[in-house]
Amino acid sequence: MSDEINGQEDLKKASAAAKLFDVRRVIGGLFVVYGVIVTLIGVFDSPAEVDKASGVRINLWMGLGMLALGLLFLAWLWWRPVKVVPSEDV
C-alpha cells in the first residue's frame, strides 16, 4: 500500500516537473514578452526610422508576428498538455 502511494506521489512530482520545464512554455513566453516589447517600439517609431525601412513599420509587423508565434506555442501547450507515462521498474 505504501509503495503504491509513493509511486503516485512520484508520478505527480514528475508530471509537475515535466509541465514546468516544457520547452513550449519557455519559447512561447519569451516570444510573447519580446513580441510585446517590439510591438510597442513599432507603435512609437519615428518617421526617420520608418523611412530607414523603406516606409514599412518593420518593428510593428515583426512584433505582431512574434506575439502571434508566442501565443501559438502557448495555445499548443494548452491543447496538447504533457502526459507523463509511469515507467515500469524491473
| Confidence at residue 65, expressed as pLDDT on a 0 to 100 scale | 98
Residue 29 has pLDDT above 60, yes or no: yes
What is the residue extent of each domain of the chain? 21-79
With 0-12 CB in 10 A as exposed, 13-18 as middle and 19+ as buried, what is 65? middle
| Confidence at residue 7, expressed as pLDDT on a 0 to 100 scale | 59
For the chain, the straight-line distance linking the first and the last C-alpha, in angstroms and rounded, comes to 19
**What letter represents residue 39's amino acid?**
T
| Confidence at residue 3, expressed as pLDDT on a 0 to 100 scale | 55
pTM beyond cutoff 0.95: no
Q: Are 82 and 15 in contact (CB under 8 A)?
A: yes
With 0-12 CB in 10 A as exposed, 13-18 as middle and 19+ as buried, what is 41? middle
